[in-house]
Structure 1
Amino acid sequence: MPVNFGPTAHDYARYRTEFPPELFDRLAGSGIGLAGQRVVDVGTGTGVLARGFAAAGCTVVGVDVAPELLAEAERGGGGERVSYRCAPGEDTGLPSGVWDVVSAGQCWHWLDRARAAAEARRLLVAGGALVICYRDFSTEPGSVGGVSLELAVAYNSDWPEVGGLAENPQWGDELAAAGFGDLQGFGFDVVVPFTHEAWRGRMRSSSGIGATLTAEQISAFDDELARLLSEWFPEEILQVPHRIQVLSGRR
């Protein structure tokens, strides 16, 4: 099933949460994302990771293949330190050997990983870092995320294959084979509050819903999710556990 985030760009920009400040603090402790560094953020989407690095004082170029997502990224601001270009993460067209960091937030599974790793290595200065970041909500059975995902799969049994760092431990070996060393990883948990409306928007922005289904199917899913949330989780603010995970390597 083809995946196109263009039609869901508005929901993606409005309801996908930011990476927490702790992520950037911990990366800075490893020398990644320091003020003055030059960053290429591949698969930037609506620019969430790019804006975080820009706020830390980096100069950032966000790269994505979806013009609709890039338009939302532009509207999201970030100041003069961040700019965007439409290009694939495997072939950015940016100059070689002048970037301190190549980042990839919530997107490494969508890329041709061998080509993307080779492109990152081409872009980076010697000793520069490739950092892959994910923030995924808990799908524990009976939880808000678990129940919502179960409903989503019922609407789309051909849910596109996805998965972050937890589901793909081989990615470290792939980076090593691509010429990256000093591989490091870490993870931590955060709880993110959502209103019912915001959680419905978050689910609509998913690859298996807003990026693949028809408008009629999306509307039907959204209506049923609204009823489910009202019945099973009547509290006004949903407290949704998320896991932040990071893998980095040095050229």
Structure 2
Amino acid sequence: MIHDNRIDGGKGFDWGRASMDYARFRDIYPPEFYQKLIDAGVCIKEQRVLDLGTGTGVLPRNLYEQGALFTGTDISEEQISQARQLCAEAGMDIPFLCCPAEKLPFPDNSFDAVTACQCFFYFNHETLALKLYHMIKPGGLMAVLYLAWLPGEDVVAGASEELVLRYNPSWSGCGEYRHPIEIPDVYSPYFQLESSEVFDLRIPFTKESWNGRMKACRGIGASLSPEKTAEFEKEHLALLDKTAPEKFSVLHYAAVAVLKSKKTTSF
């Protein structure tokens, strides 16, 4: 169980609780999302890439055919277990390690690039910035990615978010709006910002997959008891029967920031 005063008012959450739904329903990024990485020279052929907060390995699995050599890490044993299972089923050779990002054991200059998707704000940057600087090769890249629905502009997203807040008023993942990824100042001595972009995406869902996506958010599956999660699911499906067709899309925004290491020589 994770407790962080910056998140949900310090209320505990455990991604392991949501790992089954996460594996089924959070692999939702469209091709144009991944293309941003390729265009930036990240996750390309023979590049050694460390994927922080990999969860169920969504990013490495979807970019596997590009030929990068991925290593995925996450703090949740259950998430890593799902990642390994999904890779085995798909015949993908991707090593995964269960370890906090701040305690990763990799030696200096181990990776050409690092990715962090949907997880960057969880980290202790005072510790992580220097560690990443050491682990990334000279001139290496770091890509930070984020995707969120827009509750103020999408009726289904807004109604679903209101229901989440009824079940978990402490959830601080609500009220998203378009904004670039904020890179803490502690990274400035080690990395320079190469690019930052914000763009809209419409993500297709069915009632089942959107319900699963909502259950797999931190405010529900990772925070509530199985009984409360089941109550939410029942009420959410009833809500969708009233507000959504069987197939629909939800307006999201995506943000991508790419940084380059200031290291010029290997240690």
Q: TM-score, normalised by structure 2?
A: 0.86
CA spacing shift, 1:113–1:151, aligned 2, 3 Å: same
Task: Indicate which of 122, 144, 165 corresponds to 1:110.
Answer: 122
**1:225 matches 2:236:** yes
Mind listing any 5+ residue stretches in structure 2 that lack a counterpart?
Answer: 1-10, 262-267
| Deviation (angstroms), 1:160 | 4.5
**Which moves more between the two structures, 51-60 or 62-71?**
51-60
Structure-1 residue corresponding to 2:146: 134
CA distance in 2 between counterparts of 1:20 and 1:184 reads: 20
Q: How many residues align?
A: 249
CA spacing shift, 1:218–1:180, aligned 2, 3 Å: same
Structure-2 residue corresponding to 1:236: 246
SS for the counterpart of 1:9 is helix
Structure-2 residue corresponding to 1:59: 69
Structure-1 residue corresponding to 2:8: none
CA distance in 2 between counterparts of 1:150 and 1:96 reads: 46
Instruction: Report percent identity of matched pairs.
Output: 31
| Deviation (angstroms), 1:80 | 4.5
State the AA in 2 paired with 1:28: I
Deviations 1:88-146 (A, max 9, x none): 11121112112101111110111112222222211100000111111212212561111
Structure-1 residue corresponding to 2:54: 44
| Deviation (angstroms), 1:182 | 3.8
State the AA in 2 paired with 1:150: E
SS for the counterpart of 1:211 is coil
**1:246 matches 2:256:** yes
Contact 1:132/1:247, CA 8 A, preserved across alignment: yes
**1:195 matches 2:206:** yes
Runs of 4+ in 1 over 3 A off after TM superposition: 78-81, 160-170
Contact 1:109/1:162, CA 8 A, preserved across alignment: no
**1:21 matches 2:35:** no
SS for the counterpart of 2:234 is helix
CA distance in 2 between counterparts of 1:176 and 1:128 reads: 15
**Which moves more between the two structures, 97-106 or 166-175?**
166-175
Structure-2 residue corresponding to 1:210: 221
SS for the counterpart of 1:171 is coil
**1:119 matches 2:131:** yes
State the AA in 1 paired with 2:132: A
